[in-house]
Amino acid sequence: MQDTDSLAQRIRDGLLLDVYGALITQKQKLACEMVLMQDLSLSEAAESLKVSRQGVHDLITRAREHMESAENALGLLEKESKYEEILKFLDQNKDHLPKDFYENMKSMLEA
C-alpha cells in the first residue's frame, strides 16, 4: 500500500507543481522539480542547489504546504477533476443526446 500512496502523492505533487508552481519561490520550484519530477536524491539536489540535504527537504516541504494551501483556497485541481468527470459522462451518453447539444456542451467544457 505504501507504493500506491507514494505514487498517488507523486502524481498530486506533479499536478500541484503544474498548477501552482508560479506561486512558490524559484529555489523551491527547482528543488521540487529535481526531487519530485526528475527523481534526484536529496543529496544530488542539495549539491546542485548548493544547500544541505535538510535545506532541500525544507524547500520541498514549504513548497508543498504553500501549493496545498493555494489548492484549498482555489480548488483548481478539484475543478479540473470535475470537468473531466463531466466530459466522460457526456461522452458515455453521446448516443442518447441531441447531436447539437452534445457538440455545444463538449466545446464549452473543452474551452
Whole-number Å distance between alpha carbons of 54 and 43: 9
Residues whose CB is less than 8 angstroms from the CB of residue 105 and which lie 6 or more positions away in sequence, other chains included:
90, 97
- Give the model confidence (pLDDT) of 12-36 as tens digits: 999 999 999 999 999 999 999 999 9
Residues whose CB is less than 8 angstroms from the CB of residue 10 and which lie 6 or more positions away in sequence, other chains included:
36
- Give the model confidence (pLDDT) of 51-102 as tens digits: 999 999 999 999 999 999 999 999 999 999 999 999 999 999 999 999 999 9
Phi–psi pair at 98, nearest 5 degrees: -60, 140
How far does CA 27 lie from the centroid of its chain? Answer: 18
